[in-house]
Amino acid sequence: MATDSEFYPKDDHSWKTWMFQEYLQVRGPLTEENVMEYFEESFLFDRSSNNNVLRMQTQHADPNLRMGRLETENELKRFTGMEYALVHSQAPLFVIQQRDRLSPTEGMNPSSIFPERF
């Protein structure tokens, strides 16, 4: 018998679901400020992304000074390459876009979209 994965290309994760129940129990419902942190825990998050590089660069900073969503987006403009961005935020639907930043001033090429619905 065929499995779901046989009907989709290898890099197509649109048929897969993921939930980190423990995160939601501890942190509460997803918001515009924490949905990216939640997404970083999923199998869809690429550890080589600019988001992760920035997180690693700032991980030992004072937790009280942790960057918010807008500050993170501004810092990501310094990088080129693959990044994730929250492009829609209206609970219970959050849409995260994977895109390639060509330069700090040039546009981006979107490549994937990951809806998070709760």
Could you read off the pLDDT of 50-85 as tens digits, one per residue?
Answer: 999 998 888 776 666 677 888 888 899 999 999 999
Percent helix, strand, coil in the chain, to 5, is 30, 25, 45
- Per-residue tokens: 65: 């000074």
Whole-model pTM over 0.75: yes
Q: For 81, how many CA atoms within 13 A lie in the half-sphere containing its CB?
A: 11
User: Are 83 and 76 spatial neighbours (Cβ–Cβ below 8 Å)?
Assistant: yes
User: Are 45 and 39 spatial neighbours (Cβ–Cβ below 8 Å)?
Assistant: yes
The whole-angstrom separation of Cα 73 and Cα 101 is 12
CA torsion sign, 43 to 52 to 73 to 60? positive
Instruction: Kindly indicate the confidence band of residue 4, based on its pLDDT and cuts at 50, 70 and 90.
Output: low
- What is the DSSP-derived secondary structure letter of residue 72? H
Task: Give the position of tokens 């992304």.
Answer: 49
